[in-house]
Amino acid sequence: MNYLSIVVASIEQEEYDSGIWEKFKNLVSKLFSSIELPKIWGDDIDGFEIQLFEGNRRSGRDSIMLITTAPVMPVIKVKPVAGTNGEVEMRLLIDAYQRDGVDPNNRDAAISNLRTTGVSSYYPADDWEKVKTNDEWTVDFGQNIRGGTAYLLYKINNKVDTVRFFIRGTNPTETQIRNYMNQRGYIAQYWFIVRMTRIESSMRQFGMANTYTTAKLTGRVQGRGEPLYGPPRGFGLKQLDNWGTGENPIYANEQHLWDWKANIEGGVEVIREKEATVNNRRRLSSSLPHETVISPMSKVIVNTLVALKKASFLFWKFIFAVISLIFIKLYIKLIFKFIRKILELVLKTE
């Protein structure tokens, strides 16, 4: 029985004869027709016991496991301990849903649009892991950092059952964030990147509510251990949104949501993309011929300024000429006075 079947069965008991319910079922069927929903409870495998561990700590259904601040996935171990003398086939599924947007009139409401990459994360990716009774299987995530709702699927004689649990994130410290940015050379290259990150997310990758939720990602801004969400589509430290071009759109993927280092790399990619756009426009602008176009009003202003400059020059030229004439007149007057004194002295001596 899958997740949708459980919901349908519980509501049908109360509203079986409702025409509204029939319309709702049709709508849900269309919505989920192309999506493979994991089984929460499969066939009941009587007498079978399976143990789930986070590291060396015993865990179980609907438990919370945490991605470390490094970030590193939790060490998930599975051990079949009773019910079969042969092999058990096992596989881990992590739900691929992402948040895409919330109701702009109610930001605390459930997500209004869901986006999926179309491929859920399976471990192993291509087949089931065969595990003998009392042997341990440690899930290998490779380089993936994934969170959300996880389903441990186990199969015996073609009967499948499921253990559901939840993987949530842990915020890195500001020192870890700064050290990573510095090691990558981003602080030296982009002097504003630390301040920008603080403004965008307060240096947080995940929400910090008091308790973890055991539901699908809801779009709540502060959901504890959930990717920090800023409407309409921002995620994590760098609040990654849709970017790229219309022909080549890029979205924040699961790695960006759950791996804070990948989130920073995505943020730097956005910065470099914008930087390249500006540089391309500058090059294009410098390569085009420039023709100066002056509006009529600008021409009037320019001509007025030129005229004032000429008038100012003529005014000061006139003043200089007047002053020069005054000095020349005084100079001539002094010369005549000097000559007259000379003549008077000469006449007296005779």
Give the pLDDT of the chain (350 residues) as one tens digit per residue: 333 333 334 434 444 444 554 554 455 444 444 434 433 334 445 567 888 999 999 998 889 999 999 999 999 999 988 766 678 999 999 986 555 554 555 555 544 444 444 457 899 988 999 999 889 999 999 999 999 889 999 988 888 889 999 999 999 999 999 999 999 999 999 999 999 999 999 999 998 888 887 766 655 557 789 888 887 678 899 998 777 666 676 778 889 989 999 999 999 999 998 888 888 888 877 766 655 556 676 667 777 777 777 777 787 878 888 888 888 888 888 888 888 888 878 777 76
Contacts of residue 91, defined as CB under 8 A and 6 or more positions apart, other chains included, come to 122, 123, 124, 127, 128, 129, 152, 153, 154
8 Å CB contact between 206 and 167 = no
Listed residue (176, 179, 151, 148) closest to 164, CA to CA: 151
Listed residue (232, 220, 254, 216) closest to 67, CA to CA: 254
8 Å CB contact between 74 and 261 = no
Q: Is the pTM of this model over 0.85?
A: no
In three-state secondary structure terms, 331 is helix
> What separation in angstroms does the CA of 331 have from each of 78, 151, 328, 335, 336?
117, 112, 5, 6, 9
Q: What's the burial of 350, exposed, middle or buried (CB within 10 Å: 0-12/13-18/19+)?
A: exposed
Listed residue (260, 247, 269, 235) closest to 115, CA to CA: 235
In three-state secondary structure terms, 248 is coil
The pairing of strands 148-156 and 87-94 is antiparallel
Q: How far apart are CA 163 and CA 50, in angstroms?
A: 9
In three-state secondary structure terms, 228 is coil
237 token code pair: 């430290």
91 token code pair: 């596989």
